[in-house]
Amino acid sequence: MAAAVPVQRGAAVGSSRIARSGAQARPAAAVRVSQRSVVTKAQQKREMMMWEALREGLDEEMERDPTVCLMGEDVGHYGGSYKVSNGLYKKYGDMRLLDTPICENGFLGMGVGAAMTGLRPIVEGMNMGFLLLAFNQISNNCGMLHYTSGGQFKVPMVIRGPGGVGRQLGAEHSQRLESYFQSIPGVQLVAVSTVANAKALLKSAIRSDNPIIFFEHVLLYNVKGEVHPGDYCQCLERAEMVREGTDVTIFCYSRMRYVVMQAVAELEKQGYNPEVIDLISLKPFDMETISKSIKKTRKAIIVEECMKTGGIGASLSAVIHESLFNELDHEVLRLSSQDVPTSYAYDLEAATIVQPEKVIEAVHKVCGVRAGV
């Protein structure tokens, strides 16, 4: 074990609010614009894959704040099973990039204990499904300690890892646990979908004083895109407008954003103009953005990879029906995964999750089939 890293206690994290409030994020954006004029052209084009963006965000935050550390299975010498911490142990040492034994319950609890003392641990679940072994720590400790201690303790930790249906990984490694976690009071759920938001949201999550469960998607690590320049953080509680439209609002998150956009490309040809919103924050929901959009389009479709029963879509649909009933011209449609374990077989797996054709059908159903389709 490397010697303890001397930590400058005074150098603890600055305001996590930078990440929080849109109002405060804006001045930072303004600074960015002025910086942009001086950066070189090469720096402007910052295209990379999502795993590289996450790694860069992690690296920047670890450099910025000595209390930030990453622990999990194979995060150090191996480099992370999806390369998110690739090579970082060489820079930060074995203590800040802590390779744990395979014991999710144990090391997640250890992360909670460390977070209670003021460290900012990021705990990587090699696969979201494995975190079920640590469910008690996430629910009873992570989520509720702040409340049960009457506000004395906070748990500033990030629990992150890949979830979602991959390519024939079998049922246990294709888990969508967001529905399991959504009813835990005190945790925030954030799902990333693009290279830009993956990095900017990870940075915000690390700076947040709340426990954040951070959903990456096993099939998105290699998508390419550009990251924001500079020390850019994105508000954890705000949904992202993907495409403005007028006919219907399609809510989605994580990989389903791409499935929806595939459908939208076809729908555009058919003359539809749907609005697409990436929820980002699965708990709490950004009701401001959601209700503004519904008041405009008066129709809502939810597309998720979560299960139909008790999923994120179930919660969101209930909220929309409860609070925006009079704004709706059509009942909310939910396109979710079938309530079955995820098959290994290719065709069965594909039939388990939502495909673009289903989104197109749903838009037809809600908006009516246009002439010529």
Partner 1 sequence: MLALAGGALRASLGARALAAGGASLRGYGTTLGVEGDVLTAEVNPFKTHRIDPPSTTVSATKAELLQYFRDLYRLRRMEISADMLYKAKAIRGFCHLYDGQEAVIVGLEAALNHKDSIITSYRDHATHVMRGGTVLEVIAELMGRTKGASKGKGGSMHMYRRQTNFFGGQGIVGAQVPLGAGLALAHQYKGEGGVAVAMYGDGAANQGQIFESFNMAALWDLPCIFVCENNHYGMGTAEWRAAKSPAFYTRGDYMPGMNCDGMDVLAVRQAFAYAKEYAVANGPIVLEMDTYRCPIVLEMDTYRYHGHSMSDPGSTYRTRDEISSIRQQRDPIEHVRKLLVDNGLAEASELKAIEKEVKAEIDGAIEEAKAAAHPEAKELWTNIYQDDLGMTLRGIESNHKHKYA
Residues lying near partner 1 in the complex (CB under 8 A) are found at: 1, 4-7, 9, 16-17, 20-22, 69, 95, 100-101, 103, 105-119, 121, 136-137, 140-141, 145-154, 185-186, 188, 208-210, 237, 284, 286-288, 319, 322-323
Instruction: Give the three-state DSSP class for 265.
Output: helix
Minimum CB separation of residue 356 from partner 1 in Å reads 32
Nearest residue to 214 via CA among 263, 169, 177, 246 = 177
Residue type, position 56, single letter: E
Minimum CB separation of residue 340 from partner 1 in Å reads 30
Q: Quick check: is 173 catalytic?
A: yes
Minimum CB separation of residue 231 from partner 1 in Å reads 21
Q: Which is nearer to partner 1, 58 or 354 (CB)?
A: 58
For residue 60, count other CB atoms closer than 10 A to its CB: 18
- Residues listed for the chain: 373
Whole-angstrom Cα distance, residue 282 to residue 128? Answer: 16
Q: Quick check: is 104 catalytic?
A: yes
Minimum CB separation of residue 177 from partner 1 in Å reads 19
Q: Which is nearer to partner 1, 150 or 372 (CB)?
A: 150
Minimum CB separation of residue 266 from partner 1 in Å reads 35
Q: Which is nearer to partner 1, 107 or 214 (CB)?
A: 107
Instruction: Give the three-state DSSP class for 311.
Output: coil
Q: Which is nearer to partner 1, 145 or 307 (CB)?
A: 145
Instruction: Give the three-state DSSP class for 257.
Output: helix
Q: Which is nearer to partner 1, 20 or 217 (CB)?
A: 20
Classify 57 in phi/psi space as left (phi over 0), alpha (psi -120 to 50) or beta: alpha
Q: Pull the structure tokens for residue 225.
A: 């895109």
Of the chain, the end-to-end C-alpha distance in Å amounts to 66
From the candidates 56, 60, 146, 173, give the one annotated as an active-site residue: 173
Whole-angstrom Cα distance, residue 145 to residue 30? Answer: 37
Whole-angstrom Cα distance, residue 136 to residue 284? Answer: 21
Nearest residue to 116 via CA among 79, 82, 73, 145 = 145
Q: Which is nearer to partner 1, 35 or 136 (CB)?
A: 136
Minimum CB separation of residue 162 from partner 1 in Å reads 23
From the candidates 56, 60, 73, 104, give the one annotated as an active-site residue: 104
Q: 166-185 burial by CB neighbour count: b if 16+ within 10 A, else e?
A: beebeeebbbbbbbbbbebe
Nearest residue to 358 via CA among 330, 332, 334, 341 = 334
Q: Which is nearer to partner 1, 67 or 342 (CB)?
A: 67
Minimum CB separation of residue 42 from partner 1 in Å reads 36
Instruction: Give the three-state DSSP class for 134.
Output: helix
Whole-angstrom Cα distance, residue 13 to residue 33? Answer: 24
Annotated catalytic residues are 104, 173
